[in-house]
Chains A and B, each alone.
Chain A
């Protein structure tokens, strides 16, 4: 298949700068726009069935690019097209409500991620089993440790199989045993999902599973290519430790 799963054409995205009321008024009068450009003329094509990694320093625009693909931010210039359902795994368990039980939160989180009632009902036993919460699943989430919350979040988020999976640095939650288990679960998900875009700082893992890497620096794509070359480029651009 040579079809494209995602097409990003010349996307530019600005963020407004937060200013106090007086400055805002002055800018309004002078029609001046103070802004920060998070992505500048980014073009990228992701093929169906590809595992693509994105690397770059903190604040280089990696997460913003994933948010463009998932439709959270519309592009200021250019456009982004995608084929099929998209799911973004990021900040696991941030949408949880503390005074509802783990079970209720699993359903809530699943529905926030866009799943139907039937899907959630059928997946729930498997989600609860994977989260290893046992009887705690009937307790309010405010009584959970942060590791338990992350486990429940990962269990829900990884239970579904979208057409395009976006992963934003969610590996490495919980204790070592669960870390192994979650890594395996995500790798399984990566294998069973057609198209995957992965943001991570663990270059070892990226080399292992990615077909191509994209290197982003200061909101621009510096290079796209083989993982080894891009990691080399990353170090030569940003400076070695």
Chain B
């Protein structure tokens, strides 16, 4: 009898003990980072693994942008629209351009460029600005530039809602090419993050990097087709081909052709060059970030 009871007891207990003892932790190195050359791939799996954290950090990023503002998210649309009206007057005064679509080109230019510019500045400063969190807990730090970029992509997507009144106002056709508009935002964000990851560790050591990039974004605004278009450059002959060395020409032109319902109209070499630049920067940036991030945060 007694023996029988014991057996029963064992049977009853065993599954519970098993479940308690199953995750017997073994000694492992703490804060283990993957090999740097794998980083361009592992970055994506990290993002998926920590998606709950990423979602919360992105939400924080977006909420922080328009805090205490009565109009709130309306500013995502208002800002490029107001900027476009200023440039419209400026341009008419200087060049007397009669193109009635010009304000639309500028609005889209400003939206795509600010996605790139803000994402770039945010990723460059992503480590130095999160010093407090970095000192509190360890998780893969690639999450900081990633969330900075994602937040800016989402805000720019909201800005894109401005195309709806534009389409109604200008009686534009609704075509499949309209998908170019969100695609150009993604491309702008992708071009920004590689570059941002590349210098984010350096920015922890010397904040000069941050100031330099603020200048780069401001200068790039004029050097890229934001206030002007790729077509305007083409009219100037050789200048049009030179312009294609700027990887941002492709997303900027893509958004404009998307709303006009036209194909891209850029030579294939230009498109491949721009995409190639983004991929090379992603690989290089991932490697450098993974390799130097740990040493850099000691400077924070």
Contact = CB atoms under 8 A, between A and B. Distances in A.
Interface of A: 4, 7, 15-16, 18, 21, 24, 67-74, 79-86, 88, 90-91, 94-95, 97-100, 104, 107-108, 111-114, 116-117, 120, 163
Contacts of A98: 67
Interface residues of B, number: 35
Given A18-B299, A116-B52, A81 B29 contact: yes
A15 B31 CA distance: 18
The 7 closest A-B pairs by CB, nearest first: A71-B31, A84-B25, A99-B67, A71-B30, A71-B138, A83-B25, A81-B27
Most buried by B among A72, A99, A114: A72
B129 interface: no
Nearest to B208: A21
Contacts of A80: 29-30
A147 B38 CA distance: 44
Contact of A67 (B33, B57, B135, B206): B135
B19 interface: no
Contacts of A71: 30-32, 138
Does more than half of chain A's interface fall in helix, strand or loop, or is it mixed? mixed
B294 A74 contact: yes
Given A69-B30, A74-B294, A84-B25, A117 B52 contact: yes
Contacts of A16: 205, 298-299
A82 B28 contact: yes
Given A112-B53, A116-B52, A95 B30 contact: no
A88 B136 contact: yes
A144 to B, nearest CB: 15
Contacts of B134: 72
A72 B137 contact: yes
Contact of B27 (A7, A73, A94, A104): A7
